Amino acid sequence: MKIGIDKIGFYSPGYFLDMADLATARNADVNKYTIGLGQDRMAMPPITQDTITMAANAAVGILSEEDLEAIDLVILGTESGTDQSKAGATAIHHLLGINPYARAIEMKQACYAATAGIQLAKGHIALNPTKKALIIASDISKYGLNSGGEPTQGAGAVAILIAANPRIMSLDNDAAYFTDDILDFWRPNYSDYAFVDGQYSNEQYQRFFEATFNRYMEDTGRTLDDFNALTFHIPYTKLGLKSLRMVADIDTRPDLFENFNHATYYNRTVGNIYTGSLYLSLISLLEKGSLAAGSRIGLFSYGSGAVGEFFSGVLEDGYKDHLVSDHQTMIDARKRLSIHAYEAMYNVSLIKDGSHQILDTTHETSPFYLKEIKHHKRVYNK
């Protein structure tokens, strides 16, 4: 039985900062951001969008009434969740109106968690083939104003429906994974912003890619010739490109580099969305590329701390007919922030003392958003 991605869609908030404006404000050469890092813009969330609302906004665009009845597993992968105890997936489950006979959990392993969710879902569907699993990766990436990581921020969510006989991509039963206890990027409970050892994190990312890619090839007997595209976790697009160059040569496999360009289309303009970045790259490739049905795609997932995984999938007949059609419209509709507006939005925070905070939601056009905080509880519109 084939199991894999039946539906996939993303959401990103309605504001962005252009790298040219950030470069001017930080006295940096814009080419460092656009060429050196390979990023053009980054999404910026208003205070009314959090991990839960972005996740629900991503999922609402792909789910039918039939899906809401068939889903019995909801997994939120995030490293910027809203609660230490209650899983964000329970609120998402409610906002979307999924039937109550479902498991809802939140998973954490930095940017890797959604991949773990997908693999768990695959096993779940193998045992329960008439059911469906909703996996959502949702994150806000923040390193602080004037920080080294500032040009690699972003915000957004990707929702993935895992089912038997998938219409977009079936997942191979092959995966290679690797864990090592390192501190390349982490966020202690007391900190709003991640700490990162930037160059060390780049090195570790590539070490984990090499380890999992080689292991996968050894285990499966496949070679690069068996792949039509390689996709990567994309903290910034240049790191994916450098990793592709580790295993492929542009002269012998120009198609892999062309597909890599397609596969970074939305990442260049949305920025790093942590858990969802690999899957935003996959959406970019499926929408903007022209891969034939039957093409095999390699996926490298990396979560600092760290866990890496290389796995693969094969595109199904007619997959293009089942993609979400209005992602580009959503991106085109975003509003450009001045550097002052960006910094002001950055510095807005929710109250923490239990008093009643009613948020200004007049700017909101998304289906789901945060309305108020009352008695330490987040109140969403539905």
In the complex, the residues that contact ligand CAA under the rule CB under 6 A are: 29, 31-32, 35-37, 111, 148-149, 151-152, 184-185, 196, 198-199, 201-202, 205, 233, 235-236, 238-239, 272, 274, 302, 304
How far apart are the C-alpha atoms of 305 and 289, rounded to whole Å? 32
Residue 270: CB minimum distance to ligand CAA, A: 13
Specify whether 79 is catalytic. Answer: yes
- CA atoms lying within 13 Å on the CB side of residue 357: 17
To 5 degrees, how large is the angle CA 116–CA 57–CA 112?
20
A 10 A CB-CB count for 29 gives 10
- The answer to whether residue 203 is catalytic is no
Which three-class secondary structure state does DSSP give residue 317? coil
Write down the least CB distance from residue 112 to ligand CAA, Å: 9
Q: What are phi and psi of 290, to 5 degrees?
A: -135, 45
SS3 83: coil
Judge contact between 91 and 83, C-beta under 8 A. no
Looking at beta carbons only, is 227 or 274 nearer to ligand CAA? 274
What whole-number distance in Å separates Cα of residue 77 and Cα of residue 54? 12
**Identity of the residue, 51 or 272, whose beta carbon is nearer to ligand CAA in the bound complex:** 272
Measured from the CB atom, the residue of 301 and 366 that comes closer to ligand CAA is 301
Q: How many of the other CB atoms lie within 10 Å of CB of 367? A: 15
Distance CA 274, CA 115 (A): 12
- Whether 343 sits among the annotated catalytic residues: the reply is no
Q: Which of 93, 124, 233, 262 is catalytic?
A: 233
Residue nearest to ligand CAA (CB): 36
Tokens for 57, please give them. 């906004």
User: Residue 210 corresponds to which tokens in the numbers above?
Assistant: 């090499």
- We find the least distance from the C-beta atom of residue 239 to ligand CAA, in angstroms, to be 6
CB of 281 to ligand CAA, least distance (A): 12
CB of 69 to ligand CAA, least distance (A): 35
Closer to ligand CAA by Cβ: residue 265 or 300:
300
Name the catalytic one among 106, 111, 316, 364.
Answer: 111
- C-beta of 245 vs 374, nearer to ligand CAA: 245
Q: List the catalytic residues.
A: 79, 111, 233
